[in-house]
Amino acid sequence: MVAKRVPEAGDVLQGTLDMLILRTLVMGPAHGHTIAHAIESTSENALEIEQGSLYPALHRLEDRGLVSSEWGVSENNRKAKFYQLTGKGRKELNAATGRWRRMTRAISLILGESFD
């Protein structure tokens, strides 16, 4: 018998979060803490995510083969796990970005705002 899964906060934005993570990693390998802050700052703190919710997303991406990971030493001289975009991840990012652009454009048209 399949139990009904309780929808988790952030599920809706999951695809978006995945895209943001991939986008961040275009700049080069980074560990979780860096990624969290990068997303926060580049979005001018408009997207407030609980830092912890980053990790399920990261692990899902890794299982899907979109990112790869490796333990290394951080700028603070601490042990940290570094994530890196794979070829597959790069392709997925392009596709996701395209989807996102089309969708926001469609929404803008509906809302009657000029699209620039």
Could you list the residues that contact other proteins (CB under 8 A)? Answer: 1-3, 5, 8, 31-33, 36, 50-53, 55-56, 59-60, 63-64, 74, 76, 78-81
* CB closer to other proteins, 28 vs 65: 65
Residue 55: CB partners within 8 Å, gap ≥ 6? Answer: 32
Beta carbon of residue 109, minimum distance to other proteins (angstroms, whole number): 36
* CB closer to other proteins, 69 vs 100: 69
Beta carbon of residue 116, minimum distance to other proteins (angstroms, whole number): 34
Encode 30-91 in three state secondary structure: EEHHHHHHHHHHHCCCCCCCCHHHHHHHHHHHHHCCCEEEEEEECCCCCEEEEEEECHHHHH
* CB closer to other proteins, 1 vs 110: 1
- What 3-state DSSP class applies to 22? helix
* CB closer to other proteins, 23 vs 74: 74
Decide: 36 and 106 in contact? Cβ < 8 Å.
no
Beta carbon of residue 52, minimum distance to other proteins (angstroms, whole number): 4
